[in-house]
Chain A
Amino acid sequence: GENVEQHPSTLSVQEGDSAVIKCTYSDSASNYFPWYKQELGKRPQLIIDIRSNVGEKKDQRIAVTLNKTAKHFSLHITETQPEDSAVYFCAASIGTGGFKTIFGAGTRLFVKA
């Protein structure tokens, strides 16, 4: 069946360094790729998303890249801060006409001050 693989499962970086999380998906019909951040004890919240018609999107310190040929997309966080510490989930879904969203297993990011 469809699945989304996410790596690494845990990532520890020093404050100010960059963090990269990678995901691959299996369903070639997927065309919407959101990233959610879940802080401890809180609900997941969207931080950035990308659609299949673009290869890169940036929002301040956060960027996402998409390679549809390789079925691969990545989250890049620059100048990390302690408040970036959380679990990050990637997801892939079929937008128009579909609602099925498949989530990756999550990456626990620790930013050390």
Chain B
Amino acid sequence: ETGVTQTPRHLVMGMTNKKSLKCEQHLGHNAMYWYKQSAKKPLELMFVYSLEERVENNSVPSRFSPECPNSSHLFLHLHTLQPEDSALYLCASSGTGGDYEQYFGPGTRLTVT
């Protein structure tokens, strides 16, 4: 698959579990993003990495921990989540700068039980 891929596509986890979401981009971009999309709120920016350095951390609880080992891969490590964290988690990538088109992945549908 080309573009931006995410795995897994669906995830059900208990509040005491630890899991990780993975994002991979094949577009040669230098910036990668995590968004949360839920029914109650619009697309919420969580984290941004540019050239593997975190440049935005939008007041996200510490139970979400991002990791960007290189410009093509982005992870979101999850632990001790709450039911209200259930949402669609979207990854995106773009050129270096906020004025570039963002290419989104298909998302991971997360359910916390």
List residues of B whose CB falls within 8 A of some A CB: 31, 33, 41-45, 48, 50, 55-56, 58, 90, 97-99, 101-102, 104-107
Quick one: which of A50-107 are within 8 Å of B by CB? 51, 89, 91, 93-106
Point out the residues of chain B lying under 8 angstroms from A18, CB to CB.
none
Q: Quick one: which of B31, B56, B99, B107 contacts A32, CB cutoff 8 A?
A: B99
Q: Tell me the count of chain A residues lying within 8 A, CB to CB, of chain B.
A: 27
Please measure, in the bound complex, the distance between the C-alpha atom of A89 and the C-alpha atom of B99, giving whole angstroms: 16
Q: From DSSP, what is the main secondary structure of chain B's interface residues?
A: loop
Q: Supply 9 further A-B pairs (C-beta < 8 A) apart from A91-B43, A101-B45.
A: A34-B101, A46-B101, A89-B43, A93-B99, A94-B98, A97-B98, A98-B97, A101-B98, A103-B45
The residues of A that contact B56 with a CB separation of less than 8 Å are: 99-100
Q: Write out the residue numbers on chain A whose beta carbons fall within 8 Å of the beta carbon of B104.
A: 43-45
CB distance from B2 to the nearest CB of A (A): 13
Among residues of A, the one whose C-beta sits closest to the C-beta of B59 is A1
Interface of A toward B, CB cutoff 8 Å:
6, 31-32, 34, 42-46, 49, 51, 89, 91, 93-106
Could you tell me if B99 and A43 are in contact, using CB atoms closer than 8 angstroms?
A: no
- Chain A residues, CB < 8 A from B55: 99
17 A-B Cβ contacts within 8 A? A34-B101, A42-B106, A43-B105, A43-B106, A44-B43, A51-B99, A89-B42, A95-B97, A95-B98, A96-B98, A98-B97, A99-B48, A99-B55, A99-B97, A100-B45, A103-B43, A103-B45
Asked if B98 and A32 make an inter-chain contact with CB atoms under 8 angstroms apart, the answer reads yes
Q: Which residues of A contact B41 (CB under 8 A)?
A: 105
